[in-house]
Chains A and B, each alone.
Chain A
Amino acid sequence: MSQTMFDKIWSKHVITGKVGDPQLLYVDLHLLHEVTSPQAFEGLRENHRKVRRTDKTFATMDHNVPTKDIFNIKDEISRKQIDTLGKNAKEFGVRLAGMGDEDQGIIHVIGPQLGLTQPGMVIVCGDSHTATHGAFGSIAFGIGTSEVEHVLATQTIWQTKPKTMGIHIHGELSKGVYAKDIIMGLIAREGVSFGTGYAAEFYGDTIERMSMEERMTLSNMAIEGGAKVGIIRPDQTTFDYVAGRKYAPKNMAKAIEYWKQFYTDDESTFDRIVDFDVSDLAPFVSWGTNPGMAVPVDQSFPEIKNADDQKAYDYVGLKPGQTAPEIPIEFAFFGSCTNGRLSDLKIAASVLKGHHIAPQVTALVVPGSRTIKEEAEKQGIDKIFKDAGCDWREPGCSACLGMNPDQVPAGVHCASTSNRNFEGRQGAGSRTHLASPAMVAAAAINGHFVDIRKAGIA
């Protein structure tokens, strides 16, 4: 019987149980961060349990960390949470890239960067953007803290097998249109829950031409469409990316042979297929309070169809019929597990080069990891941002969710390369407008969004 990649990796990892019931799956990689792990370690301690496989567990600090003066955390509760992870990692023997460590960064950025993330794996982390790792052809999904504790203790997880959805993405992207616009356009068309109950596989010629960093942007936001898994078939691009990294397989030839067994046999096997032609896709900007509330930059915001739309318009202080260039931008955020990688910073820098951000705009640049920060500095990318008037910071999740001091003030419109525009996400009363790094850079310069295709920027 023909199977999808998801089916094949799934069945390879089943310890017990049959399809339809909850099944016990083996976990190849468990990633940890400071916010969703303390109660899990406490649970282990209370029950005198240990971490079963420290060699398959890796922790870092990202959500809470300050992005300047990193060794002086003023928020006492934040500091306690960060210190707690340090103590837990030491006590339980878990590898940790802590504050100041050369490998520290956003967990979904460093997993791939260190070669921990590999095809064919089951990967979990107490964070919904774990979907990112699906870009490597692994089943990667977010879990809650009770599940974190369960995986620490047993290296397994109970899951009911979801249905599979094939998302066929095809066509040549126009200049100035990026992976971010694909996923935003898809969710704007299909809604924020179209993927609930499904594991999605992205495929098609557009995907095949993408770099790993672009694929990660796509998989990262699968969860914003409700799909907790967004898998992509590993190919030579994937293998070349993984090879030679710190924790990559020593015997790549053997690994690649193993990984290739997981390819989807026949695309008609998916329980549902979504077709998305991206050849006429425009840059997208979100106007409302969920990632589905987004429009192409050259189209007006939609009519109010229900109470949720009304509530969203009231919150963001915008009206139906307006367009993205009419949003007064006073904040710009470059970073996050969606768009905080080196290629994202390079694209933003190429737009900013020779320009200065508008006087009313505050712009934060937060590289996804220390390695990215150092590489960017080596290439002089930091200088372009600084010369443009941006604040160049230390790595972390930062203003994507504002758990640290990096917050967007109430009522302020922020052009953001992150993934969620929920009410209060970037700070109480903050108004988030999601877009690609190039679009955010152009918005920072102009104080409002512009169609980067027409402005000759792209």
Chain B
Amino acid sequence: MEPITTITSTSVPIMKDNIDTDQLIPKQFLKNILKVGYGRHLFFDWRYEKDGKPNPDFILNKPERQGAEILVAGDNFGCGSSREHAVWALKDYGFKAVIAGGFSDIFYMNSTKNGFLAITLPRDQREILAAAPADAKITVDLPNQEVRYDRHQFKFEIDPLWKHKFINGLDDIAITMQYEDQIEAYEAKMPQF
């Protein structure tokens, strides 16, 4: 996993609430057996017309919004299906962080496994970010747990263990294997019936 500390980038606001993982990546794109290549299908049904042409009204297709690494969204982001493809698609598209009012528990866990920052900020602060001009830069500063834009500084919470993992790009399985003795001891005590 790539270490992640500070992201400074333009942003894209999609302030809809309850953006589910079916919208982030529809099922027809879950058949691949790889982790890459999902970015072009992100927000597929909103992003493309029926004939496959980009929908010019959808914000991801606006020329001035290209290259943004930060997504600003509504409440309860990533609800629904557990598909990790949703995080892979966001990352593959080029996003490095999403700032929302909250996340489904499964989506949040998936984000921590992929070095993808899922940050919770209250609505009033997100509305300030969502109103930022297309060329305005927003900074997500993980070590200081702060989102900065213009003269604003918004603090956010993150579990210290996830923060440590993000900053150091650590692999979960390697960490867990250090507990092998404890796992074995646990297994030895399990009830048999």
Contacts and interface: CB of A to CB of B under 8 A. Distances in A.
B172 A126 contact: no
Contact of A80 (B33, B80, B110): B33
B176 A420 contact: no
A158 B81 contact: no
Nearest to A37: B33
A299 interface: no
B123 to A, nearest CB: 12
Given A150-B176, A158-B172, A22 B162 contact: yes
Contacts of B75: 193
A311 B16 contact: yes
Given A24-B176, A153-B173, A155-B183, A226 B104 contact: yes
A42 B32 CA distance: 12
Contacts of A130: 82
A374 interface: no
Contacts of A141: 106
Interface stretch (A206-214, A247-255, A437-445): A247-255
Given A146-B110, A402-B27, A36 B20 contact: no
Interface in A37-72: 38-39, 42, 47, 49, 63-64
Given A81-B31, A290-B18, A424 B83 contact: no
Interface string B36-78: 0000000001000010000000000000000000000001100
B105 A15 contact: no
Contacts of A42: 33-34
Contacts of A143: 82, 106, 109
B76 A196 contact: yes
Q: Which of B76, B104, B159 has the most A CB atoms < 10 Å from its CB?
A: B104
B33 A81 contact: yes
A127 B106 CA distance: 10
B161 A258 contact: no
A251 B22 CA distance: 43
Nearest to A88: B33
Contacts of A144: 82-84, 87, 106, 109-110, 113
A158 B183 CA distance: 13
Interface string A130-141: 100000000001
Interface bracket on B = 35 or more
Nearest to B76: A193
A239 to B, nearest CB: 12
B183 to A, nearest CB: 6
Given A196-B76, A428-B45, A49 B173 contact: yes
B28 interface: yes
Given A26-B183, A49-B173, A251-B193, A403 B82 contact: no
A281 B139 CA distance: 50
B29 to A, nearest CB: 10
A458 B89 CA distance: 46
Interface in B160-193: 160-162, 172-173, 176-177, 179, 182-183, 186-187, 191, 193
Contacts of B16: 307-308, 311
A316 B94 CA distance: 32
Interface string B1-44: 00000000000000011101011001110111111000000000
B156 to A, nearest CB: 16
Nearest to B177: A154
A308 B18 contact: yes
A228 B106 CA distance: 8
A77 B32 contact: yes
B114 to A, nearest CB: 7
23 contacts: A15-B179, A16-B182, A39-B84, A47-B173, A126-B84, A144-B109, A145-B84, A153-B173, A162-B105, A193-B75, A196-B104, A251-B193, A255-B193, A311-B16, A401-B22, A420-B80, A422-B22, A423-B22, A423-B23, A424-B22, A425-B22, A425-B27, A428-B45
The 6 closest A-B pairs by CB, nearest first: A146-B113, A144-B84, A144-B110, A38-B33, A142-B82, A193-B76
Given A39-B84, A49-B173, A144-B113, 15 more contacts: A15-B182, A15-B183, A21-B161, A22-B162, A38-B33, A142-B82, A145-B35, A145-B85, A150-B173, A154-B173, A250-B193, A401-B81, A403-B30, A420-B20, A425-B27
